[in-house]
Amino acid sequence: MVKRTSHQNADCLIARPLDAIGDWWSLLIVRDAFDGMRRFGEFQKSLGVAKNILSARLRNLVAHGILETVPAPDGRAHHEYVLTERGRGLFYVLVALRQWGEAYFSGPGEPYTFMVDTRTGRPIRRLEVHAEDGRLLAPGETRLADFRQQPQ
């Protein structure tokens, strides 16, 4: 064996992101960061993950520019972790994953939960994929693989 294969240098722009977040914990850390968590202990308590694993994941997320460390506001020795712009870009991935979970992984008899607009408390709409001209596109009507061609 060598190391676990990395997609970092893959041509595919679906593969490369997976190098940053394609493990069992990273997206959950990012989700918690969206929910306002910033500190090591908060993540650890929320996720129940071993501290060494959390430490490695946070380091990896920082290395990939998804989180950044900022000095703790209360002048503590240790810093806090906050989302970068790149990290905030993961919002749509989380929404898509969440809606997929709602649609297909919601157990029967389970309290129905959903994402809400924080301003109104009302559920949000489902994601849609639209063509340039506004047409609604169904799964399969879009080519996911790279397609090299100048727009215009």
63 forms part of the interface with its own copies (CB under 8 A):
no
- Cβ 19 to its own copies, closest distance in Å? 8
63 burial level (CB within 10 Å; 0-12, 13-18, 19+) = exposed
- Cβ 77 to its own copies, closest distance in Å? 28
Structural contact between residues 58 and 40, judged by C-beta atoms closer than 8 angstroms? yes
Among 41, 59, 70, 141, binds its own copies (CB under 8 A): 141
Is the Cβ of residue 24 or residue 147 nearer to DNA in the bound state? 24
- Cβ 58 to its own copies, closest distance in Å? 17
Structural contact between residues 57 and 66, judged by C-beta atoms closer than 8 angstroms? no
Residue list 23-52, contact with its own copies (CB under 8 A)? 23-24, 27-28, 31, 34-35, 48-49
* Cross-strand bridge partners of residue 70: 80
Is the Cβ of residue 77 or residue 138 nearer to its own copies in the bound state? 138
109 forms part of the interface with its own copies (CB under 8 A):
no
Residue list 66-85, contact with its own copies (CB under 8 A)? none
Structural contact between residues 71 and 78, judged by C-beta atoms closer than 8 angstroms? no
14 forms part of the interface with its own copies (CB under 8 A):
yes
Find the helix packing angle between 91-104 and 26-34, rounded to 10°.
100
Please give the structure tokens belonging to residue 39: 């500190």
- How far is residue 68 CA from its own chain's centroid? 15
* Cross-strand bridge partners of residue 110: none
93 forms part of the interface with its own copies (CB under 8 A):
yes
- Cβ 78 to DNA, closest distance in Å? 3
